[in-house]
Amino acid sequence: MRYHKVFAMVMGLVLLVSLTACGTKDKKVFTVNGESFTYKDVMIFGYIFSREYNIEEATLDNNYEGKVTYRKYYKDELENEIVNTLLLYKEAQTGGMELSEPQQAEELSKVLMEDIGEEALEKYGITQSDVLRVYKMRLMADSYLETFSDEDKKEDEDGADESRYIKVYQVIFPTVELDENGMLQSDENGKTLEVSSAKMEVKKEKADEFAQRIEDGENIEAVVRDYAAEVTAAEQYLRYEDLSPDYKRQIDRLSKGGVSNSFKSDYGYYVVKLLESDAKDYEKALSEHEEETEKQDRAEEELERLYSLYVAHNLEYKEQDLWDSITIDQFVQ
């Protein structure tokens, strides 16, 4: 750890001489599809990156997933984020995009300037306009990816699925064979194994008996405990359209808090208590999760497309010597 700290200090002194004498701070480190990051830009981006990842000096020599040190991992991630920003910013510019909230970049740049400190600002020749430029590029890159999310949302609204979700307390007397972990058992052809006809008749009698006890006024969760070895029971969110016809008929006749008769469905004899007939909060959360997943997938696809076009076969997108001279240690305070 001490070695790395001393090494970083020595590198800083060497770089300071190099920066002032040779104008290294204005040399291009990355150039992707006509957009460039100079040494100074990389330093600014590195300071932003370090704070967003909350990088601590004490962790840099630790192993990341047992493969590389965090120092190496963070350096690789920094390069990826810089390249991605350049790729996406260029696309945003080409598409004529503008920042919807330019004041956000101004506020962020002021905070970072104070955080970096005058010594480092002077060392690398960083001005507020430099920091503002980098922040604008990052925000523009993010905005470009958001356009994919907006398109997906519009498509979802145009072809909205009218199905709803219900919430039930579901009790099953299974008529299929289950292993010790409660998983379905199948034969060599993949067909689900069912219990014998005799056992199936017993399951039906037990389910009818269970339903009658509920109808007589007993609490469903309490009755489940008496049948613990014979049933599976849990709260479930279910999509109404996916239910079997018999299941739907039982749900349709129930009001909130009502309990069904016993009925046969996919995996046995069921008794269900209706908790919500239209679980809008669950549906909203599920929809938001699906939208976020779709957004991430689209973003990854777009980045892969751009990377393939402008980086994968371009051996000169990076000035390796300049990049090697930069260490994560320089951004940790």
Q: For position 149, what pLDDT does the model report?
A: 57
**Residue 263 φ then ψ, to 5°:** -150, 155
Low-confidence ranges of the chain (pLDDT < 50): 1-3, 5-22, 152-162
DSSP, collapsed to helix, strand or coil, labels residue 295 as: helix
112-143 burial code (b ≥16 CB/10 A, e <16): bbeebeeebbebbbbeeebbbebbbbbbbbeb
Closest CA to 30 of 75, 74, 84, 73: 84
- Enter the tokens of residue 180: 């010790």
According to DSSP, residue 316 is labeled T
How do residues 240-292 score in pLDDT, each as one tens digit?
Answer: 999 999 999 999 999 999 999 999 999 999 999 999 999 989 888 988 888 88
Domains and CATH numbers, the chain: 2-157+292-331 (no CATH), 165-278 (3.10.50.40)
User: What pTM was computed for the model?
Assistant: 0.63
Q: Considering only CA atoms, which of 51, 23, 58, 25 is closest in space to residue 40?
A: 25
Determine how β-strand 63-64 pairs with β-strand 68-69. Answer: antiparallel
The distance in angstroms from the start CA to the end CA of the chain is 15
- Residue 273 bridge partners (DSSP): 169, 259
Amino acid (one-letter) located at 99:
L
pLDDT of res. 260: 96
- Number of neighbours of residue 241 by Cβ within 10 angstroms: 11
What angle (nearest 5°) sits at the alpha carbon of residue 232, between those of residues 228 and 234?
110
Please report the pLDDT score of residue 288 as a whole number: 84
**Gap between the Cα atoms of 60 and 245, Å rounded:** 59
**Structure token digits, residue 66:** 């047992």
Q: Which residues of 4-19 are buried (b: 16+ CB within 10 A; e: fewer)?
A: beeebeebeeebeebb
- pLDDT tens across 102-147, in order? 889 999 999 999 999 999 999 899 999 999 999 999 999 999 988 8
Q: What is the pLDDT of residue 247?
A: 95
CA dist 50 and 29 (Å) reads 19
pLDDT of residue 21: 39
Q: Are 176 and 268 in contact (CB under 8 A)?
A: yes
- The residues with which 239 forms a beta bridge, in sequence order, are 165
**How far apart, in whole angstroms, are the C-alpha atoms of residue 278 and residue 163?**
10
